[in-house]
Structure 1
Amino acid sequence: MRVEEGFQPIPYPEDNPYTSDPVLPALLRRTLPPNAFNEIEPDLVRLGADVITTIRAMGSGNRVAPPSLIQYDQWGRRVDELETSEGWRDLKAVSQKEGLPGIFYERKYQEHSRTYGFAKMMLMVGDSHEVFCPLSMTDGTARVIELIGNKEMKEKILPRLISRDPSFAFTSGQWMTERPGGSDVSQTETTATSTGKTNPFGPQYTLNGFKWFSSATDSHISVALARTGPPTAGSRGLSLFLVPLRLPLLRSPTDPVPPSTSNNIFVHRMKNKIGTQILPTAELSLESSEAYLIGTLNQGIKNISPVLNITRLWSATASIGGLRKCLAIATAFARVRKINGQTVLLQDSPLHVSQLASINLTYRALVHLTFGVVGLLGKVECGVASEGEERRLRVLTPIAKAFAAEKACHGMEEAMTALGGAGYMEENGFGRQIRDSLVEKIWEGTTTVLALDLARAAQDPKTLNAFVSWAKDVVSSCPQALQIQMQQPLEVLNEAIVELSGSFGRPIGTLIPRPALMVTGYIASSAFLLEHAIWAYTVGDAARDTDIEVFSRWVLEGGTAAAIDDLRRAKEGTEGRVKANLAMVFGEAARAKL
């Protein structure tokens, strides 16, 4: 039989990612002022059409390829020329034109500008080949300069970081990770030495060290931590610097581009990663590289914190954006694929739809969680947040990043299996999406690192109470009739709140932070879903029954009870469990050493 003969599978048509999304339109309608929503939604509809046409085409075929590094020219001179693909450059440019990260600093919609910009990112991320990695760090660097940069930085660097003109715009990297400590920056080896000179951008230093991960190696500038105090000072001896990748940093558009090594930054090698392969990530050495102090000396951790907080929310949005695309493919496939002798569409098979509904449930919970935190960030940046909201943002930023990464990857795998063998083919994009999304469990802090960050925040009773009080207030705001209807899930949610409230006493148990993070994630996502269900019920929204069902199922079937049990086990018999863990992993001899 010729391949053209016999049964021909029907390709699945993908709908506009905004108009077909099961969560985003209603969430925006609830959280945005009517005038802002009426202006923003047409732009999102337009962008959705662009995503599945022109933007997707930019990243297709041989237009995207891993970056290549030319370290030496034919005469043996060190040149370190980094070559990126046309598709990578075009995707970065179209994102800048769409206002990422410019929307956040134009603040046309005040605190809601964050919601608007992250909605655009979520629609694009599945087809963007990780260009939002450098743009997230660009956003974070812009915020640092906005907050503590000097006058010259604000006038000359900030406008480029937030520009919509790719020919003028800068992107920024963020260099923290080094070989001794990984996420533990207290072990930073890079040193900064004052030159005694003052550059218009600030006190001038030379940096010497080795950065083991430098995502966005093709950027114009980077922010970097370097040691200005003694090694014994740990993280208290670190300062924050702005590092030009080429010198001079500012030049006329007609001037030739300076050599890649013009600021004594040398690329040791490109990272060979399992995913994010289009994104240039390298090992760099700094050999008396020129840099400018940002903010106060020896306050580097505090000064770089806006970068970390912002990039963690970009990471969370990348996780849900990847899940969005995978779920959209699985849903579209179910509308055209027939089973049972070509007599029944998958969308008419209750068993198959049950699998899709489970993925959909996770997606809804993660979108409401992430955008709930994004909304808080917008309020804080615009100075309209209450003290409680500021404290809640401190708790929820690591939660959104870690919880979304943990849950989204499993959802993507389930969406892939919903296509059977067709899902395992590279052409549909599942493979790249899953590989790329796995890094979100690592970038900007692993789940364990973020669990420890949550534990530090929760040691302040006022901060933990701000979160717990909010969750209780959401539950108590539920109308009486709805409380009766949702009695069981509300009881489980209250049980989780009570269990979490007693988890961070001093000294905190060794095994508590990670299960506590997961319980916090379930509480937060459930509370945001409940807020939406209450709104839908109160206004009589057409989807109110679905929203009530989503909240109830997420609490009862999404894993909340299991997470509570994990936290309880972590509180009980810690010493015995630690010994048993050692024996399971490293053998009985390890148990005896403890």
Structure 2
Amino acid sequence: MSRDPIDYGALDAGRDCNYWALDRTLQRVAERAYPEADYDWAAERLDWLGEQTGTRIADNSEAVERHPPELDTYDDMGEVLNHVEYHPALADTELATYCEFGLAHDVFHAPEGRDEPLGLTHAIAGEAILSYADPGFVCPASMTVGAAIVLDRFGRDDPRTERYLDALTSDDPDEYVEGAMFLTEKQGGSDVGANETTAVATNEEGVYELTGEKWFCSNIDAEGTLALARREDAPEGTKGLSLFVVPHTLDDGGTPRGEGDDARLNDQLYRRLKDKLGTLSVPTGEVELRGATGYLVGEPERGFEYMTEMLNFERLSNAAASVGIMGRCLLESKVYAADREAFGQTIDQYPLMRRDLVEMSVDYEAATAFVFAASRLLDDYREAVLAADTVEEAHQSEAFRLMRMLVPVAKLRTARESVETASYACEVLGGNGYVSGFTTERMLRDAQVLPIWEGTSNILSLDLLRVLAKQASHEVFVPAVEERLDAAADHPELADTVETVRAELTDLQTAMGTLATEDRDYAQLQAKELANYVYDVFSAAELLAMAAEDLEAGDGRRALVAREFVRQQFGREEGRGIASGDRLPLDHFDAVVRYAVVDPADLSTAETAPADD
């Protein structure tokens, strides 16, 4: 990693560049989240993807944005066609992602040059980079990996479902397929247990006919689609749902792509595509299942349990997309501010703009730190599954209990912050930021779906309450925070900030205890506040632990970031800080925004007291 400050004025815009090379924040958190040997190998691949995304994939994405997918439901004779027409540029992005980079392949099969597959963190990092150019495409990319996670664990006992696993994780241009998740129904929404789609057994064991309506189906024509349905006489609610692979096409020859001579459409109708605000590159539509063939995954009536394994990854993928949008919008803002002249100097020289860019940078540092800490836990849980005899045993692991607490919080907070960051980036660019072709307008439209996909903020907040009650995740959360604070406590430059976060951790424990003893309505009323409190405390602890590591390596930059994050989240300064004399955005702009190295010895002068003239 280069230690020289980045000259954003050398760029005309956040295009035709290497997003990985320019994002030292992402590099640092990925390095910490990967096992060391994995990162040494993966960094070159991420660098390749960063270069491709900043050039080739960005070009593809702009073409697809101008020519989004279109659906032909019927042919000229009125027969069901279910054909989605894509711009050829999207096929090239798929080729780069699935075959050349190996997004799904490399976390299930050892890539060339390695003896073992990589962790899911590798996919999360790849999705964050891809979201710099096309957050919409990351939806099918993440569902491809997510569907493979489910089939890898629960679909290997049936050759019919295993062949879809093989195709979902293939890096062969002639064999790979994408995944999808048909979950939402009009009357169900977040209440998945209200789903009405039925599954009727056929004469062939494990093969069912599915009938019902799915209301929000992204990547509508995917061959590796997973769908929930209720078998005859199954219980009501989520406990009665089973999971099925429902292909776009059927092929008696067993080809998941349905390209054989006997290939035919499955019995479903793609009614229409949604006219969405953003994420235009992924077709989202309504599907009527009309006795569609579905292959049972695993055991019946365990479908919702299986789907939650995918949902954990999907929520982190949503957070990765948020991180990518924040990173791209921050990059566009930095470049524009370094290039745009007003009243005789570039606008990044003005104090208010410096403050804005510092605050955006600190928010981004916290978001990436939180997301990749959660990603590492997801990989640790995956290892626990391999070591355990049962799923229930794996769910007792510390990794699972902490992961289940952090993942919904990661998705909740980063989704909202991606919208706020994209919105303010539009303001930084002025009128251009509101106009198509200048990136920020599109990023804002694409970001707006992220608080909705994979669970709204309210649903995620309630999930946090559920995890605290069912998994007692606070019992592993508190030691995890304390461990990080202890790692930073011996550094004088961080000591005061560590004590501030320790006090907040104590208050957070009190808040958790209060909600555990209050009535249900009050607990739900405060659930979102609790989720944000968890995010702030854990992010602060993670940033402090990273700052301690960086100090030992001779760089105090992240110490400034950690201290500023804690001040922003927990500061109770008189007069809203106006009288505090805080000059950090002026005195340390290059460090926080341009990644200039800070000598740890200089941190004593970086407090909030006014600088000497």
When the two structures are superposed, what TM-score results if normalisation uses the length of structure 1? 0.85
Counterpart amino acid of residue 441 in structure 2: G
More displaced, 383-392 or 528-537?
Answer: 383-392
Counterpart CA distance in 1 for 2:560 and 2:443 is: 29
Unaligned 5+ residue runs, structure 2? 1-10, 388-393, 574-613
Q: Is 1:158 matched with 2:165?
A: yes
Q: Is the 8 A contact 2:31 2:39 kept in 1?
A: yes
Do structure 1's residue 255 and structure 2's residue 260 form an aligned pair?
Answer: yes
Give the residue type in structure 1 aligned to 2:488: C
Whether the 8 Å CA contact 2:250–2:258 is kept in 1: the answer is no
How far 1:110 sits from its partner (Å)? Answer: 6.0
CA distance in 2, matches of 1:288, 1:334: 57
Report the Cα offset of residue 219 of structure 1. 0.7
Aligned 8 A contact 1:191 1:226 in 2? yes
Residue equivalent to 1:96: 98
Of 525-534 and 325-334, deviating more is 525-534
Alignment size in residue pairs:
543
What SS is found at the alignment partner of 2:413? helix
Match of 1:145 among 140, 151, 156: 151
Q: Which residue matches 1:555?
A: 566
Counterpart CA distance in 1 for 2:222 and 2:546 is 40
Q: How does 1:75-154 map to 2 (within 5 A)?
A: 75-97=77-99, 98-106=101-109, 108=114, 113-128=119-134, 130-149=136-155, 150-153=157-160
Quick check: 1:527 aligned with 2:553?
A: no
User: Structure 1: which amino acid aligns with 2:446?
Assistant: D
Q: Which runs of 5+ in 1 are unaligned?
A: 1-9, 563-594
User: Cα–Cα, structure 1 residues 112 and 346, in superposed 2: closer, same or farther, change >3 Å?
Assistant: farther
Paired residues of 2:144 and 2:224 also in contact (CA < 8 A): no
The answer to whether the aligner puts 1:321 opposite 2:324 as a matched pair is yes
Shift in CA distance, 392/268, structure 1 to aligned 2, threshold 3 Å: same
1:441-486 per-residue CA deviation (whole Å, 9 max, x = no partner) reads: 0111001011111111101363221112211232233333245342
Q: Which runs of 4+ in 1 moved over 6 A?
A: 559-562
1:494 to 491, 494, 505: 505
Counterparts of 1:438 and 1:411, CA distance in 2 = 11
Asked whether the 8 Å contact 1:327–1:359 carries over to 2, the reply is yes
**Structure-2 change in CA distance of 1:33 and 1:455 (3 Å):** closer
1:23 deviation in Å?
Answer: 0.7
Q: CA deviation at 1:323?
A: 0.9
What CA distance in whole angstroms lies between the structure 2 residues aligned with 1:253 and 1:229? 29
Structure 1 position 34, deviation (Å): 4.6
Distance 2:369 2:280 in 1: 30
Residues in 1 aligned to 2:495 and 2:135: alpha-carbon distance in whole angstroms: 46
Deviation at 1:559, TM superposition (A): 6.4
TM-aligned CA deviation for residue 218 of structure 1: 2.2
Measured in 1, the distance between the counterparts of 2:570 and 2:262 equals 54
Q: 1:294 to 1:253 in 2, by over 3 A?
A: closer
Give the equivalent residue in structure 1 for 2:529.
Answer: 515
What is the rounded CA distance, in whole Å, between the counterparts of 2:529 and 2:469 in structure 1?
16
- The amino acid across from 2:217 in the alignment is S
CA shift, 1:528, in A, is 1.6
Q: How does 1:257-276 map to 2 (within 5 A)?
A: 258-259=263-264, 262-276=265-279
Answering whether residue 441 of structure 2 is matched by residue 444 of structure 1, we say no
Q: Is the contact made by 1:172 and 1:219 (CA closer than 8 Å) also made in structure 2?
A: yes
Instruction: Give, in whole Å, the separation in 2 of the partners of 1:349 and 1:132.
Output: 36
Q: How does 1:137-536 map to 2 (within 5 A)?
A: 137-149=143-155, 150-153=157-160, 155-198=162-205, 203-228=206-231, 233-248=236-251, 250-251=254-255, 255-256=260-261, 258-259=263-264, 262-340=265-343, 343-383=344-384, 387-460=397-470, 462-480=472-490, 481-486=492-497, 489-506=500-517, 507-508=519-520, 509=522, 510-536=524-550
Three-state SS of the structure 2 residue aligned to 1:106 is: coil
Match of 1:568 in 2: none
- Residue 39 (structure 1) aligned with residue 44 (structure 2): no
2:28 aligned to which of 26, 39, 49: 26
CA contact (8 A) 2:132 2:328 kept: yes
Comparing 153-162 with 138-147, greater Cα deviation is found at: 153-162
User: In structure 1, how many angstroms separate the alpha carbons of the residues matched to 2:175 and 2:497?
Assistant: 54
Kindly provide the amino acid, as one letter, of the partner of residue 193 in structure 1: V
Q: Give, in angstroms, the shift of residue 492 of structure 1.
A: 4.9
Q: Is the 8 A contact 1:207 1:290 kept in 2?
A: yes
What residue identity is the alignment partner of 2:532? M
Q: Are the structure 2 counterparts of residues 372 and 487 from structure 1 closer, same or farther at C-alpha, using a change threshold of 3 Å?
A: closer
Calculate the aligned-residue CA RMSD, in Å.
Answer: 2.6
Question: How far 1:207 sits from its partner (Å)?
Answer: 0.6
| Counterpart-to-counterpart distance in 2, 1:496 and 1:30 | 28
Distance 1:12 1:104, change over 3 A: same
Distance across 1 between alignment mates of 2:29 and 2:281 = 32
**TM-score, L = length of structure 2:** 0.83
